[in-house]
């Protein structure tokens, strides 16, 4: 495979056209050097164009290297954005599970949740924009779908907020809201994987697991919660596998311990009036 063909595989048409001319320039310089007669070695009229052409060629190579570096940095930034969205979805579900535990533990029928508890689970405007993403024809549709689902997710959280702050709302409706939040977050997570695959971003379940684990094992989080006695160890948590909510517990993520810590820390933070 030629250098020019390799560039075309990168999927950057503008870069391909620019560097096609660059490599053609290199070829022309090579042919010019082959045609130089030894007796004209000292002829500045021959060597000056060659020197200029070489400078142009090396400048083109320098620009190409800068482009490759920028593309790498950009993809790494996109990866960080989606990893943090994944972490946000994980956190949302630990809050939802903490609410579920409280409902079962205290049998809080006709009690209302403190206002703003579920509203805080919504994505912020910056998350919804997903700015600075490099789009291709393959990834645009998926990214648009993710944005749409994030907005719909916010609507679901706001509906749940109304139900949990309405004392007349039955618990069966509230439970359906929690299930809806869970199912939509998992669907969003799977769409993120599809998008990153189509966008050529290196993104695996191990990356997600490592990112979430590192985030929560920071000294200001789980270790601090344990030290300060903020984990409610007296409550039996729901069997997420039996109840069909084992997304983070499965072999791909292996985050059972982290999720249990987060739920136990938030059980006592969930306040019902």
Number of domains in the chain: 2
Q: Assess whether pLDDT exceeds 60 at residue 26.
A: no
Q: Are residues 50 and 126 in the same domain?
A: no
Whether residues 26 and 90 fall in one domain: no
Q: What is the pLDDT of residues 139-157, one digit of tens each?
A: 677 777 888 888 899 999 9
pLDDT in tens, 187-209: 999 998 888 887 778 788 999 99
The predicted model scores a pTM of 0.71
**Inside any domain, residue 196:** yes
Contact 230/263 with Cβ under 8 angstroms? Answer: no
Joined tokens for residue 273: 């009036």
User: At residue 136, does pLDDT exceed 50?
Assistant: yes
In a domain, 213, yes or no: yes
Would residue 35 count as lying in a domain?
yes
């Amino acid at each position: 495979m030629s250098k020019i063909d390799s560039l075309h595989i990168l999927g950057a048409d503008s870069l391909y056209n620019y560097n096609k001319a660059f490599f053609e320039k290199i070829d022309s310089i090579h042919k010019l050097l082959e045609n130089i007669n030894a007796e004209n070695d000292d002829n500045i009229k021959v060597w000056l164009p060659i020197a200029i052409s070489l400078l142009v060629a090396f400048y083109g190579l320098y620009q190409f290297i800068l482009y490759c570096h920028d593309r790498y940095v950009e993809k790494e930034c996109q990866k960080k954005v989606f990893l943090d969205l994944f972490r946000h979805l994980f956190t949302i579900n630990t809050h939802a599970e903490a609410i579920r535990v409280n409902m079962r533990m205290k049998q809080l029928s006709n009690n209302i949740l403190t206002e703003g508890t579920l509203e805080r689970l919504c994505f912020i405007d910056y998350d919804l924009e997903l700015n600075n993403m490099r789009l291709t024809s393959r990834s645009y549709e998926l990214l648009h779908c993710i944005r749409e689902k994030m907005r719909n997710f916010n609507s679901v959280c706001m509906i749940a907020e109304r139900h949990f702050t309405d004392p007349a709302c039955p618990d069966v409706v509230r439970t359906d809201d929690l299930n809806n939040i869970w199912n939509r977050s998992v669907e969003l997570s799977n769409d993120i994987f599809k998008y990153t695959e189509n966008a050529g971003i290196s993104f695996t379940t191990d990356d997600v697991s490592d990112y979430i684990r590192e985030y929560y094992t920071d000294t200001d989080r789980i270790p601090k919660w344990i030290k300060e006695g903020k984990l409610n160890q007296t409550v039996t948590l729901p069997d997420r596998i039996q109840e069909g909510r084992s997304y983070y517990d499965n072999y791909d993520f292996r985050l059972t311990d982290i999720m249990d810590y987060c739920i136990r820390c938030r059980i006592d933070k969930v306040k019902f009036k």
